[in-house]
Homo-oligomer: A and B are copies of this chain.
Amino acid sequence: MTLCTRKNRKGFAVFIAASVLVFASLNSTLTAQNAGRRPSFPQTTSESFDAAAVPAYSGSHSKAYAYIDANLAAHTANLQRWVRQRSISAQNDGVQQMAAMLRDDLKALGFKEAEVVPTTGHPGVWGYYDAGAAKTLAVYMMYDVQPVEPTGWNVSAFDGAIVDHPLGKVLMARGATNQKGPERAFLNAVEAIIKSGEGMPVNLMVLAEGEEELGSPHYPELIEKFKDRLKTASGVLFPMNGQGGDGSVGMTLGVKGIVYFELEARGNERGGPKTAEVHGSLKAITDSPAWRLTQALASLTSPDGNTIMVDGYYSPIRKPSQEEERLVNGMMSSWATREAMMRQGLGVDRWVDGLTGRDTIMRYLFDTTLNINGMWSGYTGPGVKTILPHIATAKIDSRLVPNQTPDEALRLIRAHLDKHGFSDIIIRKISGYPPAQTSVEAPLVRSMIGTYRKYGFTPSVAPRLAGSAPYYVFTDTLKLPLVAGGLGHGSGAHAPNEYMVIEPKSGSKVAGLADTEKFYVDMLFSLAAAR
């Protein structure tokens, strides 16, 4: 799953990763919140999590490293082969072929099981590599990509071109970093371990989907099908380029949930045009769905749009745990720089309420949201058209933090609308899932941190990403920890000129493909050795 803040067009560096252990016991809620009473997050500890205190992984796997160095051209060609295979899920373009390519690659690596798995949507791919090991690692993959922007590309998006870039030689293509590049780099590492005679230290269960860019609507079907097998794994890895353009490494240990829905006003038996727009002059005697939607929306927030006025909406939000607070405290040393980079990358001069420092982190990671993704009604072209539209719609999402749930969030919004006289407003749920979280103490997370440390990086570890991904299928359904990360850098996900660095400029801290693969080798062995 693409971690959402990575997808901003400015490509600002966001510390990414995850690790799981559900905070099931952390159900103490904040004091009951009334409408318009934001949660507050006072600091209760000055202790900090320090990633530098995690011992660096000390193993060495020279056969695998040598195999990688000797086969780098072929490994690069593997990434090119993957990005050249179109797999645009939204347009059903190349999806079946890409699923088959992934299955065939797993077979070629020696996976005992490798199959395309039908769903009610695009198919998944299942693979099982039996190393005869004590531990099993589940690997989440996505094989689909976003549609290609019609303009702005310097190369053809499916050519798999290696081009010169300020950061070095990069693979520039749709899917280069989101997500084919790091995923195939991980499989290159697996190949190196197997083919070099190093010997795989863990069994692997790969479960890939072709609908991540559609919001993973059928991934739960796949999970359900392999649930009993997956539950035997030690945890879940999502291979991902974890470095920013400056080489810095960030990890996140959880994601917010989301509920995405539409609010709609239409003419009905109580008033307004029922079947089609009418002339604008009729406003004098005709109810307007566009005004109704506007008023209903406005009732949901404070005038600045930043406080949710829905009774009880903030109530379930629990206090940050001590571990979360320690992680936040640990983020503070590099936060001012990151925050400034974010604002510059996003074109935002000032956060809400002029937030700075720790307050920004807390609001960003621990607070829920209500966001208008889009709204539309009537005539939206140039100039003048005088109509009273019969329908008005808004696309809203709310990011959910523990212990919010999609259905309860919608229930509260429905109750609010009814209470304020907007029972005519239609709520249409589109998708939703709960948040997910992994503890920084999970062996999988400590293995990842320790491997970063071996390569000279001390990751900034965030308790959560402000974005969303349906990791609950791992953390809640399977009760497995999840970690997302790896060395390597790319940017431009969901944008023109998406790239992944293959060969960095001399002096850069960004890993090239060879180091990215060696990192995955070490990480697998580190996990196998973890208590």
Whether, in the assembled complex, A455 has its beta carbon less than 8 Å from a beta carbon of chain B, the answer is no
Proximity string of chain A (462-476) to chain B, C-beta cutoff 8 Å, 1 when within and 0 when not: 000111100000000
List residues of A (150-180) whose CB comes within 8 Å of B's CBs.
none
A279–B255 CA distance with the chains assembled, in angstroms: 14
Residues from chain B with Cβ under 8 Å of A277 in the complex:
9
Q: Is the CB of B387 within 8 A of A378?
A: no
Residues from chain B with Cβ under 8 Å of A507 in the complex:
none
Q: Is the CB of B352 within 8 A of A379?
A: no
A430–B381 CA distance with the chains assembled, in angstroms: 13
Asked, given contacts A349-B269, A395-B378, whether A287 binds B306 with beta carbons under 8 Å apart, the answer is yes
Asked, given contacts A270-B350, A348-B274, whether A375 binds B290 with beta carbons under 8 Å apart, the answer is yes
Binds B, one of A98-106, A219-227, A360-368: A360-368
A429, chain B: closest CB distance, angstroms: 11
Residues from chain B with Cβ under 8 Å of A7 in the complex:
279
A355–B284 CA distance with the chains assembled, in angstroms: 11
Query: For residue A272, which residue of chain B has the nearest CB?
Result: B348
Whether, in the assembled complex, A8 has its beta carbon less than 8 Å from a beta carbon of chain B, the answer is yes
Whether, in the assembled complex, A372 has its beta carbon less than 8 Å from a beta carbon of chain B, the answer is yes
Whether, in the assembled complex, A294 has its beta carbon less than 8 Å from a beta carbon of chain B, the answer is yes
A376–B372 CA distance with the chains assembled, in angstroms: 11
A99–B268 CA distance with the chains assembled, in angstroms: 45
A250, chain B: closest CB distance, angstroms: 15
Give which listed residue, B5, B348, B379, B430, contacts A395 with CB less than 8 A. Answer: B379
Binds B, one of A134-142, A296-304, A512-520: A296-304
Proximity string of chain A (47-78) to chain B, C-beta cutoff 8 Å, 1 when within and 0 when not: 00000000000000000000000000000000
Proximity string of chain A (271-284) to chain B, C-beta cutoff 8 Å, 1 when within and 0 when not: 11111111111111
Interface size range of chain A in the complex: 35 or more
A120, chain B: closest CB distance, angstroms: 16
Q: Is the CB of A387 within 8 A of B374?
A: yes
Asked, given contacts A215-B383, A279-B4, A348-B267, whether A376 binds B373 with beta carbons under 8 Å apart, the answer is no
A187–B1 CA distance with the chains assembled, in angstroms: 70
How many of these chains are in the complex? Answer: 2
Asked, given contacts A279-B8, A371-B280, whether A286 binds B351 with beta carbons under 8 Å apart, the answer is yes
Residues from chain B with Cβ under 8 Å of A301 in the complex:
291, 295
Q: Is the CB of A371 within 8 A of B8?
A: no
Describe A's contact surface by its main secondary structure.
mixed
Q: Is the CB of B395 within 8 A of A372?
A: no
Whether, in the assembled complex, A260 has its beta carbon less than 8 Å from a beta carbon of chain B, the answer is yes
Proximity string of chain A (256-273) to chain B, C-beta cutoff 8 Å, 1 when within and 0 when not: 101010000001111111
List residues of A (106-146) whose CB comes within 8 Å of B's CBs.
none
Residues from chain B with Cβ under 8 Å of A453 in the complex:
none
Which of A8, A395, A465 neighbours the largest number of chain B CB atoms within 10 Å of its CB? Answer: A395
A519, chain B: closest CB distance, angstroms: 27
List residues of A (376-390) whose CB comes within 8 Å of B's CBs.
376-381, 383-390
Residues from chain B with Cβ under 8 Å of A365 in the complex:
284
Give which listed residue, B304, B375, B399, contacts A287 with CB less than 8 A. Answer: B304
Give which listed residue, B306, B378, B384, B399, contacts A281 with CB less than 8 A. Answer: B399
Residues from chain B with Cβ under 8 Å of A351 in the complex:
271, 285-286
Query: For residue A368, which residue of chain B has the nearest CB?
Result: B284
A277–B304 CA distance with the chains assembled, in angstroms: 18
List residues of A (206-260) whose CB comes within 8 Å of B's CBs.
214-215, 256, 258, 260
Could you pull out 30 A-B pairs where Cβ atoms are within 8 angstroms?
A: A4-B281, A8-B282, A9-B276, A9-B277, A214-B383, A215-B383, A267-B348, A268-B349, A273-B348, A281-B465, A286-B351, A288-B371, A291-B297, A292-B305, A297-B298, A298-B298, A303-B421, A372-B377, A373-B378, A373-B379, A373-B385, A374-B376, A374-B377, A374-B381, A375-B392, A380-B393, A384-B395, A384-B397, A386-B467, A386-B468
Residues of A at the B interface (CB closer than 8 Å) are 4-5, 7-10, 214-215, 256, 258, 260, 267-288, 290-292, 294-295, 297-299, 301, 303-306, 346-352, 355, 360, 363-365, 367-381, 383-390, 392-393, 395, 397, 399, 420-421, 430-431, 465-468
A284-B399, A294-B375, A372-B389 known; 13 new pairs, CB 8 Å cut-off, are A5-B282, A267-B347, A278-B348, A280-B369, A282-B466, A283-B371, A284-B466, A286-B348, A288-B371, A290-B305, A371-B386, A372-B378, A373-B388
